[in-house]
Amino acid sequence: MEHKNSKTRWVLILLGAVLLTGGLLRWVVLQPYLIPSPSMEPGMVPGDHIIVNRLSYRMWAPTRGDVVVFAFPKDLKRTFVKRVIAVEGEKVELRDNKVFVNGVPIQEFYVKPGDYPPYGPEIVPVGKVFVLGDNRRESEDSREWGLLPKNYLLGKAWFIYYPIQRFKLI
């Protein structure tokens, strides 16, 4: 009888460890977010649920093209999702409905077509990034509120997990 109790105890300990690790993993490393607005269309639409790696920018610097979740500079209780367009030391400019980084137009297959006003040129200083929504006409981003401090970055978006028919890597 004692052998059976010992097995049960170990199973419960193992189950508790798995649940604790899963909970920590969810809140410390991977966190779900909801896309609330059309600012990232067409790739992400309102109602999409995404998973974000919260360790990404504690270990690596953001790079152009990363889709990031961050604390909104004008209200740190709110979170936004945008795409990194330029990083430290790069010159960014928007003109003729194109984005230029260091004077070269970048390829943006993810952008929703449409007209948007010119911006810059501006050199991104150390400790900041320039972010834009993919739907430039419907996005509140660096053009409006300025360059984003890197310490406001909460994580890198990895994939859409819900609705299931929209599942894809970001």
6 flagged as catalytic: no
Supply the pLDDT for residue 131: 98
142 flagged as catalytic: no
Instruction: Please state the pTM of the whole predicted model.
Output: 0.83
Here the CATH number for the domain that contains residue 54 is 2.10.109.10
Flag whether 7 is in a domain.
no
Flag whether 11 is in a domain.
no
Instruction: Name the residue type at position 81.
Output: V
Residue of 39, 56, 139, 142 marked catalytic: 39
Residue of 37, 56, 77, 82 marked catalytic: 82
pLDDT tens digits, 118-146: 999 999 999 999 999 999 999 999 999 99
Range of the domain at 87: 33-169
Flag whether 2 is in a domain.
no
| C-alpha span between 88 and 156 (Å, rounded) | 18
Flag whether 139 is in a domain.
yes
Query: Contact at 8 Å (CB) between 83 and 132?
Result: yes
Phi, psi of 95 (to 5 degrees): -160, 150
Flag whether 145 is in a domain.
yes
Flag whether 51 is in a domain.
yes
Give the total number of structural domains in the chain.
Answer: 1
Mean of the pLDDT values across residues 41-70? Answer: 95
Q: In the structure encoding, which two tokens stand for residue 74, read together?
A: 């004008």
Flag whether 28 is in a domain.
no
